[in-house]
Amino acid sequence: MTPAKHNDIAINGDGAVALAWKQINPDVCAAYPITPQTIIVEKFAEYVANGEVDSEYVCVESEHSALTLCTTSCSAGARTFTATASQGLAYMWEMLPITSSMRVPLIMAVANRAVSGPININNDHSDAMAARDTGWLSLFSENVQEAYDLSIIAPRIAEHHEVQLPCLVNLDGFILTHAIERMSPLEDDVVKRFVGEFKPLYPLLDVDNPVSHNLMDGPLYYFPHKYQTVLAMDKALEVAKQVLAEFKSISGREYKVVEEYRCDDAEIVAVVLGSAFGTMKEAVDRLRDEGVKAGVMMPRLFRPWPIADIAKALKGKKQVMVMDRHMVPGAYGAMYAEVAATLVEEGGDIPMMHNYIYGLGGADTMVSDFMAAYKDVIEGRAKRVNYLGVDE
């Protein structure tokens, strides 16, 4: 490495996630490679092979097996990480609600990629959105730094004894996974101290206190047991806020469950997830220069959905545009529906609402595209649901 004038490093998003995992040194990692996630597990396998971590690395023959193995290994009492994308997450789907109902605090990085078909390897959020109702916590990152930081933050939220839920750490495929950015890593011992030791609740391998996991539940127990994940999600919001505050104290980097940019005096606010949050900040600044009172926000914590924080950020706005990087044929984008429900619940004067579907399958949405969307909404040209960049 070139002698640095600072302690920052040049790294891509996948490498940053692998570096966080290396510093955390989980007990077990099992994954099946899939673009654009592959670099994460390749890099981590290299750390294992070089003895830089003492994790057990298991090569599996599919994503379904990866998640099954990781779920059982974590419930046995081992801190366990995995990663996937797109079809891989789709193939895991059958296991997703089992992992959460078993209350396993497993961490999974998702290099967000379009779900086929048509076959496509590029970025959108259709994989994460298809997993949104399966009882997993879900965090979104705007850049490589955040993908790294959230990888360190996630286990603290997931493993909290009053949460005990698995967590998705989302980073945009290629846009972040394969892009080199400047990043400030934390010292190994700082990460180790922050994440701490894994203290599993009722692990299967605690032979002195034998337990059984994931048994059959009849009608009498299924619903009440399922309801416990609702309580865990409620608790996760509070825990997330505590953990983010604690992370600031070790890193100097401040994160919120809902990130706001120039929303305070904004008349129109966009809600967006992932790397487009950064691009939209630029659009907001240029619109502000033109005298347009625009703002943008990102629910960093997508699950649990931070209802009160979102309602507060959007209170009193004239117009709200929800940017969904996935498509729901025949209905609204998923986040639009959730923002709308939040505003209805809040009551009072509900802002005029519009939904934009954008950037599917790697379609690149430029600053000028976002600016045009704001203007279309303000000037009354926008429809309820708009497909940005598609000749409708």
Partner 1 sequence: MDTEICWHGRGGQGVVTANEILAEAAIYAGKYVKAFPEFGPERMGAPIRAFARISHKPIRVHTQVYEPDIVVVIDPSLVGRVDVAKGVKEGGNILVNYPGTSEELKKAIGTSIECHAIDATKISMEELGRPMVNTAMLGALLKVNPIITFEELKENMVSKFEGKLSEEMIAKNITALERAYKEVR
Residues that bind partner 1 (CB under 8 A): 1-6, 8-10, 36, 121-123, 143, 172, 174-176, 178-182, 275-276, 278-279, 281-282, 362, 364-367
146 or 324: whose CB is closer to partner 1? Answer: 146
Phi, psi (deg, nearest 5) at residue 162? -95, 0
75 or 365: whose CB is closer to partner 1? Answer: 365
5 or 384: whose CB is closer to partner 1? Answer: 5
Please state, as a whole number, how many other Cβ atoms lie within 10 Å of the Cβ of residue 262: 17
184 or 214: whose CB is closer to partner 1? Answer: 184
Instruction: Give me the half-sphere count of Cα atoms (radius 13 Å) on the Cβ side of residue 8.
Output: 11
Residues 6+ apart with CB under 8 A from 233: 135, 137, 165, 303, 304
* Residue 276 DSSP class: H
121 or 190: whose CB is closer to partner 1? Answer: 121
* Shortest Cβ 187–partner 1 spacing (Å): 19
63 or 172: whose CB is closer to partner 1? Answer: 172
The token pair at 153 is: 């933050």
9 or 263: whose CB is closer to partner 1? Answer: 9
Strand, helix or coil at 297?
A: strand
* Shortest Cβ 177–partner 1 spacing (Å): 9
111 or 233: whose CB is closer to partner 1? Answer: 111
Instruction: Identify the residue whose tokens are 């934390």.
Output: 186
CA dist 117 → 87, 122, 177, 221, 314 (Å)? 10, 12, 22, 38, 35
CA 359 to chain centre: 17
* Shortest Cβ 113–partner 1 spacing (Å): 10
* Shortest Cβ 332–partner 1 spacing (Å): 25
* Shortest Cβ 284–partner 1 spacing (Å): 10
The token pair at 273 is: 């997830």
Radius of gyration, alpha carbons of the chain: 21
Give the C-alpha separation, 49 to 7, whole Å.
26
* Shortest Cβ 364–partner 1 spacing (Å): 5
* Shortest Cβ 220–partner 1 spacing (Å): 50
DSSP string, 169-227: EEEETTTTTT-EEEE-PPPHHHHHHHH-----SS-TT-TTS----S----HHHHHHHHH
* Shortest Cβ 101–partner 1 spacing (Å): 36
Give the C-alpha separation, 183 to 92, whole Å.
31
* Residue 231 DSSP class: H
